C-alpha cells in the first residue's frame, strides 16, 4: 500500500493508496487533546463538565520535560481555546493543533509516499505515478480565462478557443488519463479561476478524485527579516497537484524532493510541495514526537531563563565571520563543514529540556540524528548519481532551518538558549579551525560561519585534523583562483565572490548573475563574461583574456537601445503597499494597481524602469521602453564586479591575510 494522499474528513482519516489502482480507505479517528491544570482543584467544576460533555478522562501526559497528570478531552480546537481562556491560561494544552491525518499516520508508524515496509530515511525509493503536465499559456495575473492550454502526457495536446470549450476538453482529457500527479505552473493562482469558470458553464471539474477540495487561504508573513507571501490554494483529494512555478520545494528538489519531504514530515505531497523548509522541519519534529508518544505543546510555555546582561551579551552573538581583504588569490581551498548547525545539536545534545538537565538525551538530537545521517548519505550519493541531488537539496534546506527554528518564539520544541548554544559552539569551531590552519602554516583568507578559505598544503592533512578535533565532517573545494569583491568603503565583502573550481566551473555568490532581481539583459552579459573567464586556469591567463571580456561589456552597452524591453524587467519582493518616500518599488506597486492587478506584501513583482529620475516604471507586460542611462549604469556595475578579477594580484606575500589581528565580526 503506497500512500498517495491523506485528508481528515467525516470524523476520520482518508488515505488514498496506490497499488495498481488508486483506492480511498477511510479510518474512523477522533483523537483527543490533552490538558494539564497547574491547580486542578481550582478548576474542578470545569473538569466535571468536560468529563460529562466531552468524554474526558484522567491520563498521564508525556512531554520532553517529563510526565504530568492531566486529562484527555475528545473535542476540537474551539473547545481547547475556550478551556484555555476560562482557566485564565493556568493550564498547558497538548496535541491541539496537530494535523489529524499526520497524527494518525505517526501513531500507526506509516508515512505518505511509502509503504508499510519502507524506511522513511532511505534515499532509495520508487514510485509508479501516472504523471501529466498542464500548462495554461495565459498570464494568471492578467486573465481570468483559459483560452490556451497545453497538456503533456504520452503526447502533447494544445487546446485553444473559447474558455468553455477549452475547459470542457481539458476536463475530458484529465478524466480520461486519470493522472496520479499533475504538474502545473501557477496552479494555485489558476485553480480558483478554473473552478469559477467551471461553475459558470456547469462543468464538472475532475482534478479531485471524489469532487472534494481543501482550501488554503493566502497570507503575508515575515520570515528571516523579509516579507513573504503565500498564495491561496485549492487542493484536490486523492490526486497530487504541484504548482511548479511557486513551490520552493519543487524548484529546489524536483519531484523526488517533494516526495522525500512528504515521507519524512508525514504530510501529504500536496502540502509538502506548498510549505517552506521551516514548516517542513517543524512538521517532521511533530511527527517524530507523536510517533514516540510525546505530547506536542499547543502554546510554548518554557520562558527564557533570567540571566545577567553580560552573560546574555556573551551568548547572543550569532555566527562568526572573518572579513577578507578584497583581491584575487590563486590555489585556494574552501573547507566547508557538512550541516554544521544540526551536527552541533546532535553532537552537543542541545534541546530545550537539556539546558538545565544535561545528563539526559534530548528530543532534538534524537529526532535530528537520522535526518542528519540521511543528508550525509545523499550528499555522498549525488556525486555518483544526480538523481539524489534534489533529495539532498531539500534535506539541506530543512536542516539549515532547524537551527533558526530553535530560536523561533512559537517553536513547539525550541528555546532561545538552544539557539545561542548552537551559535556559540559554531564560533568556537570556526576559531579553532582557523587556529589549526595557521598552526599548520596555512594562510587564512576568509571565513563565514561554517566554512574557511585557505592557501597552503597539504589540504587533506588539514581536513583530517580539523575533523578529528571538531568531530564534524567537512568537504573541500579547490579554486584555481578566487576573487573576493570589495564593499563601497574598499573593505572586503563577506558574501560576494566568484572563482574557478578545479573542474573548470565557476562558483558565484552575491554578484549580479546570482541575484534574483537582476534584469535578464544584465545577467546574460555577466554570464557570458563568466563563461569566458572560466577558461582561465591562472591569474596570468586571466590577464590575457581581459580585453575579450571587456568587449562583451562594450558590445552589451552598444546593443542596449535595441534590446527588448522585457529583458530589462527587475524582479522584487514587495514589503508593503504604501511607502513614505518615493522609490522605484513603490512606483511599481502603484503601476500594478493601476493595471487592476491585486498585490499583497511579500509578493514578487516585475517592472521596467522607464524614467529613474522621476521614479516612473511600468509592469513588465506593458513595458515598451526603458531608461537607457539607468540600465547602462547597471551594466557598468556588473562589469565592475567582473573587472575586479583583472586588478592587482593579491597573494600570500603581498596580502598575507592572517588573522593575528583579525577583522572579525559576529552576525
Q: Tens digit of pLDDT for each residue in 478-507?
A: 999 999 999 988 888 989 999 999 999 999
Mean pLDDT for the stretch of residues 207-227? 81
Residue 666 has pLDDT above 90, yes or no: no
The answer, yes or no, to whether the previous bond of 125 is cis (omega within 30 of 0) is: no
- Asked whether the predicted pLDDT for residue 310 surpasses 80, the reply is no
In percent, the amount of the chain with pLDDT more than 70 equals 93
Cα–Cα distance, 49 to 449 (Å, whole number)? 55
Q: What is the DSSP string of 141-191?
A: TT-S---EEEEESSSEEEEES-HHHHHHHHHHHHHHH--SEEEETTHHHHH
DSSP helix, strand, coil percent of the chain (3-state; round to 5): 40, 25, 35
CATH class of 320-371+410-516+531-551+650-666: alpha beta
| Residue-level pLDDT at 654 | 36
Give residue-wise pLDDT tens across range 598-636.
Answer: 888 888 899 999 999 999 999 999 999 999 999 999 999
CATH code of the domain made up of 114-291: 3.30.420
| Averaged pLDDT for residues 121-126 | 92
Write the pLDDT tens digit of every residue in 35-78.
999 999 999 999 999 999 998 999 999 999 999 999 999 999 99
* Ranges 293-307, 569-583, 590-604: which has the least confidence: 293-307
Joined together, the cell numbers standing for residue 560 give: 542596449
- Does the model's pTM come out above 0.85? yes
Return the pLDDT at 407.
67
> Mean pLDDT over residues 257-282, rounded?
95
Grid cell listed for 392: 539532498
pLDDT, average across residues 160-177? 94
Average pLDDT, the chain: 90
**Quick one: cell of 185?**
505552473
pLDDT at 7 over 60: yes
Handedness of CA 229, 234, 238, 243 (dihedral sign): negative
Centre a 10 Å sphere on the Cβ of residue 109 and count the other Cβ atoms it contains. Answer: 9
The residues pairing with 328 across neighbouring beta strands, listed in sequence order, are 483, 649
CA dihedral 196→202→203→206, nearest 10 degrees, is 70
Q: Is the per-residue pLDDT at 664 higher than 50?
A: no
CA nearest neighbour of 374 among 359, 392, 386: 392
Q: Is the pLDDT at 226 greater than 80, yes or no?
A: no
How far from the centroid of its chain's Cα atoms is residue 111's Cα?
22
pLDDT band at residue 284 using 50, 70 and 90 as cut-offs: very high
Domain 560-646, what fold? Topoisomerase I; Chain A, domain 4 (1.10.132)
Cell 518599488 sits on residue: 585
Overall average pLDDT of the 312-336 stretch: 82
Pairing of the two strands 181-184 and 131-136:
parallel
> Is the pLDDT reported for residue 397 higher than 80?
yes
Q: Give the per-residue pLDDT at 357.
A: 87
The ranges assigned to domains in the chain are: 33-94, 114-291, 320-371+410-516+531-551+650-666, 560-646
Give the closest residue to 509 by CA, choosing from 474, 482, 547. 482
Owner of C-alpha cell 527554528: 405
The span from the CA of 663 to the CA of 657, in Å, is 10
Amino acid at each position: 500500500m503506497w500512500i498517495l494522499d491523506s485528508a481528515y474528513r467525516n470524523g476520520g482519516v482518508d488515505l488514498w493508496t496506490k497499488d495498481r489502482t488508486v483506492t480511498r480507505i477511510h479510518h474512523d479517528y477522533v483523537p483527543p487533546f490533552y490538558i494539564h491544570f497547574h491547580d486542578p482543584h481550582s478548576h474542578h467544576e470545569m473538569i466535571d463538565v468536560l468529563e460529562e460533555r466531552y468524554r474526558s478522562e484522567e491520563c498521564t501526559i508525556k512531554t520532553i520535560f517529563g510526565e504530568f497528570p492531566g486529562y484527555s478531552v475528545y473535542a476540537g480546537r474551539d473547545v481547547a481555546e475556550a478551556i484555555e481562556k476560562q482557566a485564565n491560561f493556568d493550564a498547558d494544552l497538548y496535541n491541539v493543533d496537530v494535523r489529524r491525518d499526520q497524527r494518525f499516520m505517526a501513531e500507526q508508524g506509516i508515512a505518505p509516499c511509502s509503504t508499510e515496509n519502507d524506511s522513511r530515511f532511505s534515499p532509495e525509493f520508487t514510485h509508479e505515478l501516472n504523471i501529466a503536465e498542464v500548462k495554461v499559456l495565459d498570464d494568471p495575473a492578467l486573465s481570468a480565462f483559459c483560452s490556451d492550454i497545453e497538456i503533456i502526457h504520452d503526447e502533447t495536446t494544445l487546446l485553444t478557443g473559447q474558455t468553455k470549450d477549452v475547459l470542457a476538453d481539458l476536463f475530458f482529457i484529465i478524466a480520461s488519463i486519470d493522472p496520479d500527479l499533475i504538474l502545473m505552473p501557477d496552479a494555485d493562482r489558476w485553480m480558483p479561476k478554473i473552478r469559477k469558470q467551471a461553475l459558470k458553464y456547469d462543468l464538472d471539474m475532475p482534478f479531485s478524485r471524489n469532487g472534494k477540495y481543501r482550501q488554503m487561504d493566502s497570507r503575508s508573513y515575515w520570515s528571516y527579516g523579509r516579507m513573504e507571501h503565500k498564495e491561496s490554494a485549492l487542493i484536490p483529494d486523492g490526486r497530487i497537484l504541484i504548482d511548479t512555478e511557486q513551490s520552493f520545494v519543487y524548484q529546489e528538489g524536483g519531484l523526488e524532493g517533494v516526495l522525500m519531504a512528504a515521507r519524512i514530515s508525514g504530510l501529504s505531497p500536496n502540502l509538502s510541495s506548498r510549505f517552506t523548509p521551516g514548516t517542513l522541519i517543524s512538521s517532521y519534529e511533530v511527527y517524530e514526537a507523536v510517533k514516540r508518544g510525546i505530547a506536542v505543546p499547543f502554546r510554548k510555555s518554557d520562558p527564557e531563563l533570567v540571566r545577567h546582561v553580560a552573560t546574555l551579551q556573551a551568548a547572543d552573538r550569532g555566527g562568526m565571520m572573518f572579513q577578507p581583504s578584497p583581491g584575487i588569490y590563486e590555489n585556494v581551498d574552501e573547507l566547508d563543514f557538512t550541516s554544521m548547525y544540526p551536527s552541533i545539536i546532535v553532537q552537543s545534545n542541545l534541546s530545550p529540556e537539556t539546558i538545565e538537565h544535561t545528563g539526559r538525551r534530548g528530543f532534538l538530537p534524537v529526532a535530528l540524528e537520522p535526518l542528519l545521517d540521511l543528508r550525509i548519505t545523499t550528499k555522498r550519493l549525488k556525486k555518483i548519481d544526480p538523481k539524489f541531488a534534489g533529495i539532498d537539496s531539500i534535506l539541506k534546506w530543512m536542516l539549515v532551518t532547524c537551527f533558526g527554528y530553535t530560536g523561533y518564539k512559537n517553536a513547539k520544541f525550541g528555546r532561545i538558549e538552544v539557539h545561542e548554544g548552537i551559535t556559540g559552539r559554531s564560533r568556537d569551531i570556526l576559531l579553532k579551525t582557523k587556529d589549526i590552519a595557521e598552526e599548520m602554516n596555512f594562510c587564512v583568507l576568509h571565513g563565514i560561519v561554517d566554512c574557511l578559505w585557505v592557501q597552503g598544503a597539504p589540504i587533506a592533512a588539514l581536513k583530517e585534523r580539523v575533523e578529528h578535533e571538531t568531530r564534524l565532517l567537512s568537504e573541500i573545494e579547490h579554486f584555481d583562483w578566487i576573487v573576493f569583491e570589495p564593499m563601497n568603503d574598499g573593505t572586503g565583502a563577506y558574501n560576494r565572490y566568484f572563482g574557478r573550481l578545479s573542474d573548470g566551473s565557476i562558483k558565484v555568490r552575491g554578484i549580479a548573475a546570482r541575484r534574483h532581481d537582476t534584469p535578464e539583459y544584465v545577467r546574460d552579459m555577466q554570464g557570458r563574461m563568466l563563461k569566458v573567464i572560466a577558461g582561465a586556469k591562472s591569474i596570468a591567463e586571466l590577464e590575457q583574456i581581459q580585453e575579450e571580456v571587456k568587449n562583451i561589456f562594450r558590445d552589451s552597452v552598444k546593443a542596449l537601445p535595441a534590446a527588448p524591453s522585457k529583458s530589462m524587467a527587475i524582479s522584487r519582493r514587495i514589503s508593503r503597499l504604501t511607502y513614505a518616500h518615493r522609490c522605484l518599488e513603490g512606483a511599481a506597486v502603484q503601476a500594478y494597481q493601476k493595471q487592476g492587478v491585486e498585490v499583497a506584501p511579500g509578493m514578487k513583482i516585475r517592472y521596467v524602469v522607464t524614467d529613474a529620475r522621476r521614479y516612473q516604471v511600468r509592469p513588465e507586460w506593458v513595458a515598451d521602453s526603458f531608461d537607457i542611462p539607468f540600465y547602462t549604469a547597471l551594466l557598468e556595475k556588473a562589469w565592475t564586479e567582473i573587472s575586479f578579477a583583472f586588478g592587482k594580484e593579491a597573494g600570500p606575500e603581498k596580502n598575507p591575510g592572517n588573522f593575528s589581528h583579525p577583522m572579525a565580526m559576529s552576525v
